[in-house]
Structure 1
């Protein structure tokens, strides 16, 4: 791929930029004349933050969908006369939709750009903010889940379904007012738009020459080819990053988190909690807070350490929950010990969700967006995402049935998975904090 020299780029930046649906009319690096849309985005941090907030509406929408089945399970089963198995199919349908979307999204992202897909945030974020901003995706999912839990206390399941479309009504028009990923533009050979987009994202007073050259070097070897084949993923140089990305996303779901979040109200009822709906809302709020803390920590303590702490905490809490449920089955229903065990199981579930939110929730998505090379990111990201949602579908499909079989046994299975995740992370997952995307991806070569 050939790129124009720096002087030519300086002249080209004076051309209008229409790729994102807004006009960014710019002069040179030191003096620029901007349209109204660019004036709003003059400061780099404000620009990136605005883009992230718009992109975050998609995960909020999905989180709302994930949380929908928990507060509505009893009412839907009663109104539609569904069996437990039939409701499990209903509860898992969002994961089926996510799987179908994952299959198509990679190639679509190659043709129309990264906006609206998870890798977008990682590709536009500055190096020192990439961890925090990349974690916003999972934070937004937890906000959506909590909103579904909370609104489910006040409205019936039909009204709740209608309220769930609101984030998308803002997201869709918002996508027209954010710039495309500079790395995608560079990969596609759109030199004018590439530099303009990066300048908008970093601020018009920022010297972007070093980042421009680094991105150029990264994409120069990949060319402009749009169609990526599965055969390309078989190259030995990609095995390690693919194993890490796909492995973490599969283990994330095999931990049983979606089974807990989708059916939290019923789990709390089984544990003997009378105000199970209120407890579910509290669980959702705690998850948002814990994920918010991770968003702040991830660029300070690093990805790998948080993953190990997260998985270890989940393993211990799941062990406590499984023991509590086993003991509940052998003690008298009206004994004081039964109430203690119910409290222990609830606290254990809360700690499990906190542990998940501290690492295993947001970080696998972030690491996937960091370690996959730009030339295979679309297809490899689709495969990893499809694996994640296929696993999530299996968990949500079987969680209710497993819980009716044995609550203690169910959480024991999940505990074994999180224990394996600790070893998987310690042995194979690299630390990506403080490194550019290009440095991370070149290290695998």
Structure 2
């Protein structure tokens, strides 16, 4: 197997400034990442809420199974809408602004659910949350990838999935001990923390380069790399390559389908499609009922899932910059949380250059949430047809995933963003 599928560009490793080639984790970098990851926690809480809350909501509000299915799946409809505008929003108001704006919707959504008296308010709150996390799922890994040096980028960016899994697991744990209204109020906490924290962290230096704010870029980069680090070369490097990318095209949706972006599109779309069609969200959304149908305790089952996911995803964070992205993606056939759970979002944040990152990210996020809706909506119908057949189909798609990663997905570890994007999209 080839070690690297990327064509090498004319950028030489010795030309890359030291702060890009490798840098330490400064307090500002760590704080910025933690604040961004509060959005990942919000996403995990939203995804994990419907399973432990199911019996309580149906009993208290006298909902039918069909009505609750609407409540569970409408999150993905909101995600589709949020995904559609996520990239454009992040380009217009910045990565930090997009996170802040989306958290307002998530915050409002949790409150609408916590105080809902009717199914209509439940669905409205769930829709708001879906819109918010549709944006968050795109902007968090992009922001983290754009502020970190390449030697830390994989670990820091893949922490998105670790914290997401932690939020989902937290809902499973707490949901067995508190009412569904109290559980919704717990979901408000990470949203509130991020809304406040965003006032204390810097904007992405690469977005600042995109909008021509070079002085602000240098100030931000100095904060991120440390006051004693010479950032002049890295700043010039980012500015030069941002200008090069933007000269080729403006950020229009049709520009994304130029031949030079074909490889990035195939990789990104393929990973997003395969991630969802393996059936992961069907299992997450309906975990309680799946365990019950199998004659197993739903509470013990969901808690066991929560316990398994966190260490597996934590191991992925550690290995992302050690073993690379491709081996972990193929490791999905062994453990979803180790590879396919979060790494498609990592790779999405890396492969598109700044001039089409917004449109590319929007398209991939839209596809991901659309496929999530298809899976969550079709699952019950498929199991009525054949439970075993449903899971055999998911298994077959897992096998296709290994083949796709082997033949198509490039290894991106150890590459500066500008070098990586220039080579995969054939700019140089």
- What TM-score comes out, normalization by structure 1 length? 0.78
Match of 1:408 among 388, 402, 408: 388
Task: Show structure 2 runs of 5+ residues with no match.
Answer: 1-23, 100-138
Preserved contact between residue 44 and residue 203 of structure 1 (Cα < 8 Å): no
- Which of the pair is proportionally richer in helix? 2
User: How many residue pairs were aligned?
Assistant: 360
Which aligned pairs between 1:20-59 and structure 2 lie closer than 5 A?
44-59=25-40
Question: What is the distance in 2 between the residues matched to 1:181 and 1:52?
Answer: 11
Give the aligned partner of residue 200 of structure 1.
Answer: 223
Preserved contact between residue 68 and residue 148 of structure 1 (Cα < 8 Å): yes
Task: Show structure 1 runs of 5+ residues with no match.
Answer: 1-42, 314-354
Give the aligned partner of residue 437 of structure 1.
Answer: 417
Preserved contact between residue 106 and residue 379 of structure 1 (Cα < 8 Å): yes
Q: 403-412 or 287-296: which moved more? A: 403-412
Preserved contact between residue 263 and residue 400 of structure 1 (Cα < 8 Å): no
1:212-244, CA deviations, whole angstroms, 9 ceiling, x for partnerless residues? 232122101244999722111121101110111
Match of 1:158 among 158, 173, 181: 181
Give the aligned partner of residue 326 of structure 1.
Answer: none
Q: State whether structure 2 residue 365 is matched by structure 1 residue 385.
A: yes
Which aligned pairs between 1:330-369 and structure 2 lie closer than 5 A?
355-369=335-349
Q: State whether structure 2 residue 102 is matched by structure 1 residue 121.
A: no
Give the aligned partner of residue 78 of structure 1.
Answer: 59
Question: What is the distance in 2 between the residues matched to 1:392 and 1:408?
Answer: 20
Preserved contact between residue 88 and residue 398 of structure 1 (Cα < 8 Å): no
Question: What is the distance in 2 between the residues matched to 1:155 and 1:397?
Answer: 28
Preserved contact between residue 329 and residue 343 of structure 2 (Cα < 8 Å): yes
1:160-214, CA deviations, whole angstroms, 9 ceiling, x for partnerless residues? 1222111111111211111011111011110100111111111111122332232
Give the aligned partner of residue 298 of structure 1.
Answer: 320
Give the aligned partner of residue 394 of structure 1.
Answer: 374
Q: State whether structure 2 residue 203 is matched by structure 1 residue 180.
A: yes
Q: State whether structure 2 residue 243 is matched by structure 1 residue 220.
A: yes
Preserved contact between residue 88 and residue 396 of structure 1 (Cα < 8 Å): no
Question: What is the distance in 2 between the residues matched to 1:223 and 1:412?
Answer: 45
Match of 1:145 among 164, 168, 173: 168
1:397-430, CA deviations, whole angstroms, 9 ceiling, x for partnerless residues? 2223333443212111111111111111011000
Larger Rg: 1
1:22-65, CA deviations, whole angstroms, 9 ceiling, x for partnerless residues? xxxxxxxxxxxxxxxxxxxxx85221111111001111111111
Preserved contact between residue 250 and residue 356 of structure 2 (Cα < 8 Å): no
SS in 2 for 1:135: helix
1:74-126, CA deviations, whole angstroms, 9 ceiling, x for partnerless residues? 23333334333332221112111111111122111111111221200011011
Q: 1:135–1:196: structure 2 CA closer, same or farther, 3 Å change rule?
A: same
